[in-house]
Structure 1
């Protein structure tokens, strides 16, 4: 542990910025603020949502925004809660850290034959990188603990989103 007061303050500032960035991820998807969402990531960014069927890999930030917005824009409303942040700094690289966070994601899809609600619980492993613009997520891995409700809600939300874009 650093004994220098300045170094300790910088570490606290880093921790706050990292947690804030991970929290912005959750807030931005619920607000449908895709500019804020994009600003959470490096470009490219490695994403792993494979436990829900999406391919894992390194993608351009704009592609990640497109895929996530397409899915979530089809929902009536969502609430993503990101608590229990634990930040581990890389002892060999002061510009890297991992932020572990819990995930509680509620999705409302009014009028769906499969049911209006889909709830997802689990966690994220957010690999963080300090950039000239501040800390950003350079790698995100979603870990699904369990799900309740309409398991087909995401596919239906994507279909609704695509239909809106075609009409609009």
Structure 2
């Protein structure tokens, strides 16, 4: 592994971290540093939408706080497979426990575990995800 590949791997792993931190903190504009303008995002396995980044960003900002007032990802294994110098496939394991509003003033904890599949590309602004598929492997409390 040469220095360029090491640097690329670190930058790509940071894309995954920026994604989860933006979702968890509700800093929706931070997602602009994660996705390309033409990115496609698929949340259908967890009950969400499959749409362009331009459609998904406001949907996340509206829906997540309405149902899940707090969010906290844990990222595990991150596999990065390069397809040439400017493209890579990323698979990152995740665990995401969240309090879900119960409609009666309380919350119950739900948890989703799975894998984030990103197709990332090198852009003039750095590595960005042009496709995200959230694969749900298990759920608890739903």
Is the shorter-chain TM-score for this pair beyond 0.5, marking a shared fold? yes
Matched-pair contact (CA < 8 Å) for 1:38–1:62:
no
The one of 100, 119, 126 equivalent to 1:127 is 119
Matched-pair contact (CA < 8 Å) for 2:112–2:138:
yes
Change (3 A) 1:146 1:16: same
Q: Return the offset for 1:116.
A: 1.4
- Secondary structure (helix, strand or coil) at the match of 1:77 reads coil
TM-score by length of 2: 0.89
Off by >2 Å, runs of 4+ in structure 1: 52-57, 109-115
Report the Cα distance in structure 1 between the residues aligned to 2:40 and 2:102, rounded to whole angstroms: 34
1:83 corresponds in structure 2 to 76
Structure with higher strand content: 2
TM-score by length of 1: 0.76
Q: Return the offset for 1:24.
A: 1.0
Residues 7-18 of structure 1 correspond to what in structure 2 (within 5 A)?
8-18=2-12
Residues 7-156 of structure 1 correspond to what in structure 2 (within 5 A)?
8-57=2-51, 59=52, 61-74=53-66, 75-90=68-83, 93-112=84-103, 116-149=108-141, 151=142
Higher alpha-carbon Rg: 1
- Secondary structure (helix, strand or coil) at the match of 2:48 reads coil
Matched-pair contact (CA < 8 Å) for 1:17–1:135:
yes
- Secondary structure (helix, strand or coil) at the match of 2:71 reads strand
* Stretches of structure 1 lacking an aligned partner (at least 5 in a row): 2-7, 152-168
* Aligned residues: CA RMSD: 1.8
